[in-house]
Amino acid sequence: MERNLTGGCSCGEVRYQFQGTIAMAVYCHCRDCQRSSGSGSAAVFAVPKKDFNSSGVTSSYQSTGDSGKSVARHFCARCGSPLFSDVELLPDLAFIRIASLDNPSEVKPTMHIYCDSSQVWDRPNDPLPKFGKMPG
């Protein structure tokens, strides 16, 4: 289904727009998402980069993902809001934080990934499919 979504950071310095089809929407329980969200998981959705545009200044840091490839996590340089990630393993996709949408209820995760890393105080307890790592 074709979507037109907008979002940005808390202070308004960074804005983005996406128009197209969402590739996936997930709750990710990996340790990097836990650390960057300050919670037990991060709700993200993936979109084709060709359909994603952002404006404003972001900062980023890189980590190494489960695949051994880099993950660059972008956040607002002014307020620190986590916004989107570039994943070297999936270079044509942008992974956007659902909470950064202007209307976060427009995107609903359809599965939990990296449940092997989930915290005992935040185990997924809903009917969505659950995967220990990234599904194949």
pTM of the model: 0.93
CATH of the domain at 90: 3.90.1590.10
Mean pLDDT of 77-89: 96
H or E stretch covering 32: helix 31-37
Is there a domain that residue 19 lies in? yes
For residue 54, what are the β-bridge partners? 16
Is there a domain that residue 129 lies in? no
Say how far apart CA 100 and CA 43 lie, in whole Å.
Answer: 10
Look at the chain and report how many structural domains it folds into.
Answer: 1
* Digit-coded pLDDT (tens) for 43-69: 999 999 999 999 999 999 999 987 889
The domain in which residue 50 lies consists of 2-122
Is there a domain that residue 96 lies in? yes
pLDDT of residue 46: 97
Question: DSSP of 40-61, one letter per residue?
Answer: S-EEEEEEEGGGEEEES-EEEE
State the CB neighbour count (10 A cutoff) for residue 116: 11
